[in-house]
Structure formats: C-alpha cells, structure tokens
Structure 1
Amino acid sequence: MTTMTIAPAITGGHDPAYYAGRADAYDEHTAGADVATLTVRLSYLIDGHPDVQYAAGYAARVWEIDREQRDTTASQLEVAHNLKADAR
C-alpha cells in the first residue's frame, strides 16, 4: 500500500495570481518585449488590474529582468575593459 504525499502547488505562500503575473511577464519578454515596454505595461496593470497580486508578480519579474540585463551589461563591460588592458 502506498501513501500519497500532498505537496503544495505554490511555494513561498503567494497567491496563484502572483505566479500568473510573473509567468505573463516572462512570456512577453521571451516573445521580444524589452524592459521599457514591460514597464509601460506594468504601469497599466498597477492602475487598472483588479488583482493586486497579479500586478505584484508581474512587477517582480520585470524588475528581475532589468537586474539580469544590468548585470550582464556590467559583466560584458568588465571583460571588454580587461581585454583592452591586456592588449596594451
């Protein structure tokens, strides 16, 4: 006889709408929307979406995308700087 283990479908204690917002921001970015476009969409969500948790999840993912891009840019600049310094 086996015993079924109940595992929560949601981690972190957030509302499912929070994860739906994160997923939508991820999907839109993957489809080609840049951070500026996502930020404009976020401002519309903040003003008019009936579910605050959805907007919070969308915002969290947009901010993560922005940080990821800034970190990538900083890393690439550092590598380029080091390559230029080594070439001297």
Structure 2
Amino acid sequence: MEKFNHLEDKLYRIVEYAKHLRQEKESLEREVAALKREAAARAEENERLNQRLHQMLNERDAIKNKVEAMLDAIALVEPELTEAARRG
C-alpha cells in the first residue's frame, strides 16, 4: 500500500507540474503575441519615419536648388551693380 501512496503522490506532483507548465506556456504565448504587436507597430512607425525623412530630403534638395538659382541670379546682377556704381 505504501508503494501505491508513493506512486499517487508522484502522479499528483506530475499533474501539478503539468498545470504549471501549461500556465507558463499560456503566459509566454500572450507575451509573444504582445511583442509581435509591438514589433508590427514599430515597423509601421519606422516606415512612416522613413517616408518623412525622404520627404524632408526632397524638400531640402528643392530649397538648395532655389538658393543656388538665386545666388546665380545675384552673380549675374552684381557686375551690373558694380558698373552702375562706377558711373555714379
């Protein structure tokens, strides 16, 4: 009878351990799901920021081109201003 009781105790411990493992598995599955959602949100944010970066770089290039055009126009006008100053 003592062997039967010992076997019964082992069986209860195994059942409790299995419950513990199941709970731990469920907890880890919830954590994985949350991490996947967070990773997806961060990937979306990264994509949005990359798009914004490209937009800003394009704006910067457009402004740079406009400034260069203005500087070129000033360079063309400057000799005329120097000549007009000499006449004056």
Q: Same fold (TM over 0.5)?
A: no
The answer to which structure has the higher helix fraction is 2
Which of the pair has more CA radius of gyration?
2
TM-score w.r.t. structure 1 length?
0.41
TM-score w.r.t. structure 2 length?
0.41
Higher relative contact order, structure no. (Cα contacts within 8 Å, ≥ 6 residues apart): 1
